[in-house]
Structure 1
Amino acid sequence: MAGGWAMLPILICSAVALAIVLERCWTLRRKSVLPPGLGDEVRTWARSGQLDPAHLATLAAGSPLGELLASAVAVRNRPRELIKERIEDTGRHVVHNMERYLNTLGTIALIGPLLGLLGTVIGLIRMFLDVMKGGVGDPMKMAGGIGEALICTATGLVVAIPAYVLHRYFRSKVAGYCVEMEKQATSLLDELTLNAPAPAAPRARRAAAAPTESSAG
């Protein structure tokens, strides 16, 4: 309460930032995004033909990497360029989901010091208006008023600095995941196209349904 009404939005920002950090820490766990051995398992499924729709639906719902690989397997009979395009489209959706709420966290890191500065400026204005009305009076009281006004700035920085650091951390973590997911998707794309068995050549038609009689008899 010493910081005035400007402390309220700062405290709200701190609560929102804490909720985002906890949610992202849980969602962006490595085993949740990149389950160990999933890429090799999907490539084995592709080689053995275990790719029924129910299997693909379970794969897509399991993890972001599974969703990316399932999108490629779902169009495995298409040309390579079409499979690659589907992977890219799904990849943008997956990255968007992994970066969910990070813009909000970055906004909190930006406005935290500004809210603190606003509270400080308002507090100083109020203090100087009181001085204009009643004079300087007790210098210790004036110093205490300045200290109370600076509480907002300090609180804003305490909220903004961790929010900025964690925002950068989560962004770099997502970028690292994207690189590994791209490697797995490329390996699966090669498995589906380069290593796919070539279609059997059509059998040559017989020259005639039955042997023709020679003209000589």
Structure 2
Amino acid sequence: MDDGGIFMWIILAMWVFGIIIAVERIKNLFKFDIDGTSLMSEVKKDVLTNEVQNAIQNCSTNKSLLASVLRNGLKRANQSKEQIQDALESSMLESIPHVEKRLGYLALIANVSTLVGLLGTIYGLIQSFAAVAAADAASKAELLALGISKAMNTTAFGLISAISIMVLHQILSTKAEKIIGDLEHYSVKLVDLLATRKGQKQASPSEAA
């Protein structure tokens, strides 16, 4: 670490910060990513048997973002399709920031780590050339080789830090996209389900007549 000077410690600090963010995001994103098919199946069963309140209660006990979004739509089950869609969209707009939270920092850390590594190398090379200029002819080649070797350490460490953080960022971004996609997918399914329920309720009196 000492070979790269302060730049190595800056990169290390950023890498540790990135790992802390990644661990927190992993914990929360995997908590948000539930089995939407199973939840939607339970909601569908309750809605089609006209047990909307039971569906709302089940969603209330489920602490996932998807359950929260569906609950807000179910609360407006007897309203128009547009009102249901508005409720779902509003709930998604509140939920999505929780999914994407701090992911942008990981990309920033990866980019800055690379740049700090390059800056450390340039600074090291400047120092090496200055030392070589003041050295005697016999030791110049040795000093230059040693200086360049040390200077390249920061670039290597910066790249190692950046690559590891970029991999984590990609994994977490993919997970976040899946969660957001599920929110949108099951919101559309709920709108269709409530429309089907409303159609059944309207058909029942006419059949009885």
Question: Which TM-score band (shorter chain)?
Answer: 0.7 to 0.9
Of 165-174 and 2-11, more deviation after overlay is shown by 165-174
Cα distance 1:53–1:136, how it changes in 2: closer, same or farther (>3 A)? farther
Q: Which whole-Å CA distance do the structure 1 matches of 2:8 and 2:56 have between them?
A: 54
Matched residues, number: 198
Is the 8 Å Cα contact of residues 52 and 74 (structure 2) preserved in structure 1? Answer: no
AA in 2 matched with 1:187: K
Is the 8 Å Cα contact of residues 46 and 55 (structure 2) preserved in structure 1? Answer: no
Shift in Å, 1:129? 1.8
* Paired residues for 1:49-198 under 5 Å: 49-51=52-54, 57-59=60-62, 62-135=63-136, 137-138=138-139, 139-196=141-198, 197-198=201-202
Which runs of 5 or more structure 2 residues have no equivalent in the other structure? Answer: none
AA in 2 matched with 1:35: D
* Paired residues for 1:10-49 under 5 Å: 10-29=11-30, 32-35=32-35, 37-46=38-47, 47-49=50-52
Q: Deviations over 1:91-144 (max 9, x none)?
A: 132222111111000101111110100011111111222223335552223211
Aligned to 2:10: 9
Q: Which whole-Å CA distance do the structure 2 matches of 1:137 and 1:97 have between them?
A: 62
Cα distance 1:136–1:41, how it changes in 2: closer, same or farther (>3 A)? farther
Output the aligned Cα RMSD. Answer: 2.4
Q: Which whole-Å CA distance do the structure 2 matches of 1:35 and 1:49 have between them?
A: 20
Q: Which whole-Å CA distance do the structure 2 matches of 1:187 and 1:80 have between them?
A: 12
Q: Deviations over 1:61-99 (max 9, x none)?
A: x10111111121122232111211221222132222111
Q: Which whole-Å CA distance do the structure 2 matches of 1:155 and 1:192 have between them?
A: 55
Q: Which whole-Å CA distance do the structure 1 matches of 2:52 and 2:123 have between them?
A: 69
Is the 8 Å Cα contact of residues 115 and 158 (structure 2) preserved in structure 1? Answer: yes
Is the 8 Å Cα contact of residues 35 and 63 (structure 1) preserved in structure 2? Answer: no
AA in 2 matched with 1:11: L
Is the 8 Å Cα contact of residues 106 and 167 (structure 1) preserved in structure 2? Answer: yes
Q: Which whole-Å CA distance do the structure 2 matches of 1:130 and 1:41 have between them?
A: 74
Match of 1:167, SS? helix
Shift in Å, 1:4? 0.7
Is the 8 Å Cα contact of residues 113 and 160 (structure 1) preserved in structure 2? Answer: yes
AA in 1 matched with 2:202: A
Cα distance 1:137–1:65, how it changes in 2: closer, same or farther (>3 A)? farther
* Paired residues for 1:192-211 under 5 Å: 192-196=194-198, 197-198=201-202
Of 167-176 and 46-55, more deviation after overlay is shown by 46-55
Which runs of 5 or more structure 1 residues have no equivalent in the other structure? Answer: 202-217
Shift in Å, 1:180? 2.6
Give the structure with higher Rg (CA).
1
Using structure 2 for the length normalisation, give the TM-score. 0.83
